[in-house]
Structure 1
Amino acid sequence: MRCAAVLAIAVLLVFPPLASAQTVAGKAKVVDGDSLEIGQHRIRLWGIDAPEFKQTCTRGKERWSCGYAATDALRRHLDGAIVQCVTVDKDRYGRLVAKCSSHQRSISEWMVGEGWATDYARYSKGTYARAQAKAKSAKRGIWSGTFEKPEHYRHRPH
């Protein structure tokens, strides 16, 4: 029992829980299709998974830089707007995982609805499934052809 208590304290010291939801707001620098920086805060958008910056997708026989396109779409969408993020968690890289909005709309929902990210159902529990279905049906963004799920792409050697 004593050993379990010591282990629990050690885990909390290494991985402290978020005390409460933190709000971060300001002009965001887009890192990639699902990551931002606001001031010194590195932020992962909650509930979505966008193609990695160097990831390519296919339309017919043509390969295109869908990771760059997703990043660029988010950059153009935000274009100097004030972004508000409410933290949900921290990821293994120390980034804040947050629900962010701009233009009075969820950024994650916009990215999925425009076809530049997928609903990361493992975490979102299907929050953006309807937006994804509409983007897929309309063949927007990455749905205009074929692509490898970003999480599969990340786990493959490059």
Structure 2
Amino acid sequence: MLLVVSMHWNAAIAAEAIVGRASVIDGDTIEVRGERIRLHGVDAPESWQTCEDGDGGTYRCGKAAAMALDQFLAASRPTRCEFVERDRYGRFVGICFRADGREVNRWLVESGNAVDWARYSGGRYAAAQATAQSKGVGLWQGEFQLPCEARAEHAGREPSC
């Protein structure tokens, strides 16, 4: 009986949204009310990752993505995140929205601060990525390594993205 009640309680929590003031952990992870939330279907560069700026220089694109996300979220609070799944690390994976209704995940891709991670999104953000790429914004202003490839290389393993 306890197992049935526990399973029902976990399903009820998973179906609910989390709403509150978001703190940025990195370019594709936030925290709301003590819950780490990985933004579904997008992949932002790591905080240590550098990218080319299109003018022959480099910049810390992961740090820039996190700062841009923080500014975007601060413009319309609170943030509401809808549950998609738990990832292998136990993090809540969700699609998030600002108070004004703008989808955070989509904005990250259309602003060039993240890429559509089609492996997980099913191409949900492909059009937003094409727009960012055609405008040459964010990551698309110069050359960059896909975040999933950079993480694998940094860890000394083969990419699986």
Query: Residue 77 in 1 paired to residue 72 in 2?
Result: yes
Of the two, which has the highest radius of gyration?
Answer: 1
Q: Report if aligned partners of 1:51, 1:67 keep a CA contact under 8 Å in 2.
A: yes
Q: Report if aligned partners of 1:18, 1:89 keep a CA contact under 8 Å in 2.
A: no
Unmatched segments (≥5 aa) in structure 2: 1-6, 156-161
Stretches (4+) displaced over 2 A: 16-20
**Which string of whole-angstrom CA distances, capped at 9 and with x for unpartnered residues, describes residues 33-63 of structure 1?**
1000011100000110000111100124311
- Tell me the TM-score normalized by structure 2: 0.84
**Which string of whole-angstrom CA distances, capped at 9 and with x for unpartnered residues, describes residues 84-104 of structure 1?**
011110111111000111121
- Tell me the TM-score normalized by structure 1: 0.85
Q: How much identity, in percent, do the aligned residues show?
A: 42
Q: What residue in structure 1 maps to residue 159 of structure 2?
A: none
Q: How many residues align?
A: 144
Q: Which has the higher strand share?
A: 1
**Which string of whole-angstrom CA distances, capped at 9 and with x for unpartnered residues, describes residues 58-86 of structure 1?**
12431111000000000000116100011
- Correspondence for 2:127 among 113, 127, 130: 130
Query: Residue 29 in 1 paired to residue 18 in 2?
Result: no
What is the distance in 2 between the residues matched to 1:32 and 1:20?
23
- Correspondence for 2:95 among 96, 99, 107: 99
Between stretches 56-65 and 18-27, larger displacement belongs to 18-27
| Residues 26/19 of structure 1: CA separation in 2 closer, same or farther (3 Å cut) | closer
Between stretches 18-27 and 32-41, larger displacement belongs to 18-27
Unmatched segments (≥5 aa) in structure 1: 1-12
